[in-house]
Amino acid sequence: HGARMSNGSLAMGEFRAPFEAEVVSRLRRAGCVLAGTTTSPEFGTSYSTESTRFGATRNPWNLEHSAGGSSGGAAALVAARVVPFAHGNDGGGSLRVPASCCGVFGFKPSRGLMPSGPMVGEGWAGLSTAHAITLTVRDSAALLDATAGMDLGAPYAGPVQSLPYVNAAQRDPGTLRIALIEQSGTWPTSPESLAAVREAAQLCESLGHRIEPVSLPVVLPEFLDHVFTIIGANTRNHIDMLGRMRGFDVQDAELEARTRIILRDKGSVSGAQYTAAVEWIHALGRQLATFMQDYDVILSPVLTREPARIGELVVPDMSLSLEDMIERSHRYSPFAALFNASGQPAMSVPLVWSAAGLPMGAHFAGRFGEEGVLLG
């Protein structure tokens, strides 16, 4: 209680949390010793953990490259074996992208499975959920056992398995039908990333699973415009709330260009526009659920290329349009955010390394509520 919270932003100053999150309380009750907080990009909206406040969080495997984002500090510490696991949130790939960059395990649970209280009912209209980055699958499962389940007053809850997740992680899932998606249909997957996901598919085949190549059933630019409508309105609300809590408004000079572009283009959307975006996202969830009636798991790359270099994803000024900014980040990771929209469980598994010696995670998504299939 009372830990300093920066959200990677100068605007947060020396802000201290006025309450303890339920997920933190559950970790404490499970016997976890909390060592500190880790870095993130400002308000968690970048796939690279670089901020004016803290500078760059570097990849432990190659310091010229990024640790990913937004939970880049968490992934870097776990990859460097400083801690066995680190908590994070995932609203568009924020656990899975840094896990891929750093060669560790990143798991995003189903929507509503993890507590978000006492202050938040749902993060980013249900896009965001909490969990962790770990060294092992078993550790991730054990943390789910310690933290999953509805908290007091939650607006909705996801299904919790009766079997302990640790047991599910050690159970043979049987022969799985795996849909392999190699290309986003909008931005190309590099030859190296393509080879990595095919290697992951071959490994799955060698374990007895069935692989079927398919096409992505979503138009990404339209999807991402709706996602950023939700992010923009929520970021505006977050910054306004921060101003009220500290007693004076947040000024533009306290915010990075990336945040200001999001606020400029999406911070003042109408209620009707916001509702339309949420409804579009929910319709996508139903579309993907229908698609997955024929498959147990979707396999894709986490990233379309090896981890970005430091500075590559930074937005230096306000000259970029929001569309260009979205393209810069999501041509890098076009797949992860889909499963925040659908609420399905998804994970980055460190299976392959690039020719330059950098990790390249394989991305697996399961059916809603079927964490055990992925963990197994």
pLDDT 10s digits, 218-245: 989 999 999 999 999 999 999 999 999 8
**CATH number for the domain harbouring residue 357:** 3.90.1300.10
In a domain, 251, yes or no: no
Highest mean pLDDT: which of 176-185, 213-222, 243-252? Answer: 176-185
Neighbours of 62 (CB within 10 A): 18
Identify the pLDDT of residue 357.
96
Kindly calculate the radius of gyration of the chain based on its CA atoms and give it in whole angstroms. Answer: 19
In a domain, 206, yes or no: yes
Per the structure block, which two tokens stand in for 124?
Answer: 């980013």
Identify the pLDDT of residue 215.
95
Q: Which 8-state DSSP code applies to residue 352?
A: E
The boundaries of the domain holding residue 288 are 10-219+279-311+327-375
Q: Is the pLDDT of residue 314 over 60?
A: yes
In a domain, 347, yes or no: yes
Identify the pLDDT of residue 17.
85
Q: Which 8-state DSSP code applies to residue 167?
A: H
Name 234's Cβ contacts closer than 8 Å, sequence gap at least 6. Answer: 123, 124, 125
In a domain, 87, yes or no: yes
Tell me the per-residue pLDDT of 36-90, one tens digit each, with 9 for 90 and over.
999 999 999 999 999 999 999 999 999 999 999 999 999 999 999 999 999 999 9
Percent of the chain topping pLDDT 90: 93
In a domain, 320, yes or no: no
pLDDT confidence of 1, banded at 50, 70, 90?
low
124 and 234 Cβ atoms separated by less than 8 Å: yes
In a domain, 241, yes or no: no
In a domain, 111, yes or no: yes
Identify the pLDDT of residue 18.
87
Tell me how many domains the chain contains.
1
In a domain, 119, yes or no: yes
Report strand pairing: 50-51 vs 297-301. unpaired
pLDDT confidence of 217, banded at 50, 70, 90?
confident
364 and 346 Cβ atoms separated by less than 8 Å: yes
Mean pLDDT for all residues in the chain: 96
Tell me the per-residue pLDDT of 321-364, one tens digit each, with 9 for 90 and over.
999 999 999 999 999 999 999 999 999 999 999 999 999 999 99
